[in-house]
Amino acid sequence: MTTIGVLALQGDVREHLHALERVGVEAVGVRRLAELEAVDGLVIPGGESTTIDKLLRIFDLYEPLKASLADGLPVLGTCAGMIMLASDIIGGIEGQQTLGAIPMTVRRNAFGRQVDSSEVELTWRPDGSTMHATFIRAPWVESFSDDVEVLAVDEAHGDRTVAVRHGNAIATSFHPEVVAPGTTPDDRVHALLVDIVQGR
DSSP 152-164: EEEGGGTSEEEEE
Q: What is the mean pLDDT of each run of 10 residues along the chain (200 residues)?
A: 96 95 98 97 93 95 98 97 96 87 89 60 92 86 96 87 97 91 89 95
Active-site annotation holder among 15, 16, 79, 166 = 79
Alpha carbon of residue 89 to chain centroid: 15
- Quick check: is 121 catalytic? no
Cα–Cα distance between 154 and 161 in angstroms, integer?
6
From 16, 166, 175, 190, active-site residue? 175
Domains: count for the chain = 1
Beta bridge partners of 171: 77, 164
CATH number of the domain at 110, please. 3.40.50.880
Residues 61 and 64: their CA atoms lie apart, in Å, by 5
Q: What does the pLDDT read at residue 114?
A: 47
Can you tell me the distance from the alpha carbon of 6 to that of 190, in angstroms, rounded to the nearest whole number? 11
Distance CA 143, CA 106 (A): 7
Domain containing residue 44: 3-65+73-199
> How confident is the model at residue 98, as a pLDDT?
95
Contacts with 67 (C-beta within 8 Å, 6 or more apart), sequence order: none
Task: Given the residues 15, 16, 166, 177, select the one marked as catalytic.
Answer: 177
Q: Considering only CA atoms, which of 33, 35, 105, 99 is closest in space to residue 69?
A: 99
